[in-house]
Chain A
Amino acid sequence: MELDRRKRLASLPFSEKIRILEKLRDRSRTIAASGLRKEAVRQQMRKVQVGRNPPGPLHTADWTPRRCGTLPKHARVVAVLLSSRTKRAGPCPFEGAAGVFVVEWPRSTS
């Protein structure tokens, strides 16, 4: 049923899809403006222990783990923030290092 719904949406004329895109975009903006998304991310970040001393304010942008595997349990986590535009093609300098976790900034939210 879900696949049928998606097929039906995919077969809509593009002008109708644009109306839906615009509604989705406006809903996203409303959520972003309300602070709900930031709060959700903040709550997730609180669950991550970064050493003994909590750091200062953590950046709350969306990010995607990549390249160096999954977050090791109970390990000290060092977030290395790389620009996805400039560093994507390069090797991960911390490959294999315990507890290092590389994240990338998304190029966009699309």
Chain B
Amino acid sequence: MKATLEMINGMQTEGVIGKYAIAGAVGATFYLEPSATADIEIFVMLPAPPGSSLLSLAPIYKYLAARGCRMEGERIVVGDWPVQFLAPRNALEQEALAEAPETDIEGARTWVLTAEHLVAIALQTGRAKDHARIVQFFEENAVDTDKLKRVLMKHGLTPKWESFARKYLEE
């Protein structure tokens, strides 16, 4: 993973991308037990090209392809990990990326979403595996509940949360 992160950091240094942060199962593994995943999901801030307000992931793929990375479906294999680059698509994901704390993985500088943002995004996405992951966060006491509630309220997810908590967290 170090090689993967170093390549992405190089892309950041050269201005192809702005801030990025690890999300998805790998991000969750930062706080929880490891769970099977085929790729690394990365939220990425994209600089708007001059004279255009359209954001595109194309510069990322161009940069990485020029360095020998190959496409694998919607992912691109960087080092030995397939990586899925995702531009934040709503205010919650933008906030999650902006507030992701810096950390160090195997000597490489990187950013990982907070546990509270991972939970909020999982709740918003709402697939069965997202629900299972939220339950894991609570079973392992990996979430600051007050902070989570603030995030959920800010992004209009409180009713969804109450319904989820009734169904899965109350025994």
| B106 is an interface residue with CB less than 8 A from chain A | yes
In the complex, are the beta carbons of A6 and B139 less than 8 A apart?
yes
Chain A interface SS verdict (over half):
helix
Q: Please indicate the chain A residues that have their CB under 8 angstroms from the CB of B105 in the complex.
A: 14-15, 18
A106-B127 CB under 8 A given contacts A3-B139, A10-B142, A28-B38 = yes
* Contacting residues, chain A, for B126 (C-beta < 8 A): 66
Q: How far is the CA of A108 from the CA of B28 in the complex (A)?
A: 14
Instruction: Given A6-B140, A10-B142, A110-B25, check contact A24 B127 (CB 8 Å).
Output: no
Q: How large is the interface on B (under 10, 10 to 19, 20 to 34, 35 or more residues)?
A: 20 to 34
| Residues of B that sit less than 8 Å from A by CB | 1, 24-26, 29-41, 74-75, 80-81, 84, 89, 105-106, 125-129, 136, 139-140, 142
Residues of A with Cβ closer than 8 Å to B?
3, 6-7, 9-10, 14-15, 17-18, 20-22, 24-25, 27-29, 64, 66, 85, 88, 104, 106-110
21 A–B pairs (Cβ distance < 8 Å), ordered by A: A6-B32, A9-B33, A10-B32, A14-B30, A14-B105, A17-B34, A18-B29, A22-B1, A22-B80, A24-B34, A25-B81, A85-B89, A88-B125, A104-B127, A107-B41, A108-B24, A108-B41, A109-B38, A110-B24, A110-B26, A110-B37
